[in-house]
Amino acid sequence: MPEGGASISKSAESGMSGGPAVEAAAHGTPAPTPERRVPAAAPGTGLLVTFILGGLTAVTPLAMDMYLPALPEVTRALQAPAATVQLTLTACLAGMALGQLVVGPMSDRWGRRRPLLVGLAIYVVATALCAFAPTVELLVACRLAQGLAGAAGIVIARAVARDLYDGVALARFFSTLMLISGMAPIMAPLIGGQVLRFTDWRGVFVVLTVAGLLLTALVWTKLPETLAPSDRHGGGFGQTLGAMRRLLADRAFTGYMLAGGFAFASLFAYVAASPFVMQEIYGASPQTFSLLFGLNSVGLMIMGQVNGKILVGRVRLDKVLGIGLAVVVAAATALLLMSLGVFGEVGLVPVAAALFVLMSSMGIVMPNTQTLPLMRARQAAGSASALLGTTSFLIGAMASPLVGIAGEDTAVPMAVVQLASALVATACFLGMCRPWKSGTSEKGGGV
C-alpha cells in the first residue's frame, strides 16, 4: 500500500466536526484558505487524487453511454428482440444503484482501498466477459455485474472526498469533480461512435476493459488509504443498518438526500425525453440535438465551477442550494407553460433555452446536495454516500418512464415530471432542512 494513508486520515479527522471553513460557509463570510488534507510530502497528490476520483465517478456512466450507439448492432448480432437488448441498460443501471448500498458500508468497515480495488477488479472481469458474451441473456447478467462492481467507484469516490475535505473545501471539491465526471456524457457517445468505425460492438467493451485496467492501476499505485483504522467500525450487518438508521433519523440529512434525489429525477426526465421532444416535436436534426445536448452539459459544468470558485465561501451553502432549486423550478414552469401552448406555438429555440437554464442550474444544485448531507456524516461517510447515490438513481429511474405516459405528440409529460420533481425537491429542502435557521445544518452534526 502506498505510504501516506495514515497521515491523510489523521489530518482529515481534525476537520470532521467543523472548523473555520464550515463556520465561514454557514455565515456567508469569506473563508480562509481551506486546509489541504493530503500528505505534505506529496505536493502533486492533490491534483492526481482529484483526477482519479473524477475517473472513478465517470467510469460506469461512461460504460453506459459508450454502449448506446452499438445497441442496434447488438440486436442484430445476437438475434435478440430490441426490448431484451434494452435490458442490458436497465441491468447496468440497477446494478449501479444497488451496488452502492453494499460497497458504501463495506468501505466504512474495511477502509476505502480494499473494497474499491475489489470492485474495480470485478468490474474489469465483467466488462471483459461482456465483450465475449455469446447470448443476450449472458450479456444482461454481465452488465448487471458490471453495474454492481462499478458502483464501488461512484460511492467510494464521495466517501474519500469526505475523508479529505470538509465545509467550503468539500463543496469546492465536488464542483471540481463535476467538471471531470461531467465530460463522460459528452464524450462517451462520440468515443463509442468512433470505436464502431474500426470494430464491432464487442470492441466497445474491449476499450472499456482497457480503461478499467488503467484506472485500477492508478488506484493501486497512487490513491492511498484515507480512512484510519481508528475511524472504522468493526461491527457487521447490524451496525451498518444502525448507522443508516441514524443517518435517516437526522431530518436535515434526509431532507438534503431527498432534495438531491428529486432534483436528479428532473435531470433524468430530461435525458429520457429530450431526444424525442427536441427531434420529433420541435424538429431538431440529430446533429442539432447532439450539439444542444453537449451545450447543456457544458452549461452544467460551467455553473459547477461558478458554484465552487465564486459562490462557495462567500454565500451560505444552504442559500446557494435554495437559489439553484428556485431556478430549476422557474425553468421547469416555463417549459410546462410553453408545452401547454400558453404562449402560443413556440419553436425549438425557446424550449432549448429553458432546458439550458434548467440543466445549467443543476451545476449548483447537485454539488451542494452532496456536500451538505456528507458534512453531517462524521463517521459513516461510506454509508451516507451509499444512501445518497442509491436514492438518486432509484428516484430518477422511477421518474424516467413517466415522461412518455401521454404518447408521442406532446412534451407536457416531460415538463410535468420536471416541475413536480423540482417542487418536491424544494419542499423537502425547506420543510426538512429548515435553511433559515442560521446555518445550523452546515455546522455538522449527524452520525
The model's pLDDT over 212-242, given as tens digits with 9 standing for 90+, comes to 999 999 999 999 998 888 888 766 667 777 7
pLDDT at residue 21, rounded to an integer:
40
Listed by start position, the domains of the chain span 1-232, 239-447
Alpha carbon distance 268, 289 (integer Å): 17
pTM score:
0.74
Residues 6+ apart with CB under 8 A from 336: 412, 415, 416, 418, 419
Q: What is the pLDDT of residues 372-396, one digit of tens each?
A: 998 887 677 888 888 998 898 888 7
The per-residue pLDDT for range 236-269, each reduced to its tens digit, is 667 777 778 888 999 999 999 999 999 988 988 8
The per-residue pLDDT for range 295-352, each reduced to its tens digit, is 888 898 899 889 888 888 888 989 999 999 999 999 999 999 999 988 888 888 999 9
CA 84 from chain centre, in angstroms, equals 27
Domains 1-232 and 239-447 share a fold: yes
Residue in 132, 151, 130, 149 with CA at minimum distance from that of residue 141:
130
Evaluate the CA torsion angle 97, 52, 178, 181 in order and state its sign.
negative
- Which residue in 87, 397, 419, 405 sits closest to 271, CA to CA? 397
So what's the pLDDT on residue 41?
Answer: 32
Quick one: pLDDT at residue 68?
67
Per-residue b/e over 55-83, b at no fewer than 16 CB within 10 Å? bbbbbbbbbbbbbebbeeebbeebebeee
- Better-scored residue on pLDDT, 42 or 423: 423
Q: Give the Cβ contact number of residue 102 at 10 Å.
A: 17
The CATH architecture of the domain made up of 1-232 is Up-down Bundle (1.20)
Which of the four pLDDT bands, split at 50, 70 and 90, describes residue 364? very high
Q: Contact 151/96 with Cβ under 8 angstroms?
A: yes
pLDDT tens profile 11-61: 333 333 343 343 344 334 334 434 434 433 333 447 888 889 988 988 877
Average confidence score pLDDT of the chain: 80
Give the pLDDT score at 234: 66
Q: Taking each helix axis from N to C terminus, what angle separates 167-181 and 20-27, rounded to the nearest 10 degrees?
A: 80
Comparing 394 with 183, which gets the higher pLDDT?
Answer: 394
Rounded to an integer, what distance in angstroms lies between the CA atom of residue 218 and that of residue 117? 10
Options 3.40.50.720, 1.10.1370.40, 1.20.1250.20, 1.10.3720.10; which CATH number does 239-447 get? 1.20.1250.20
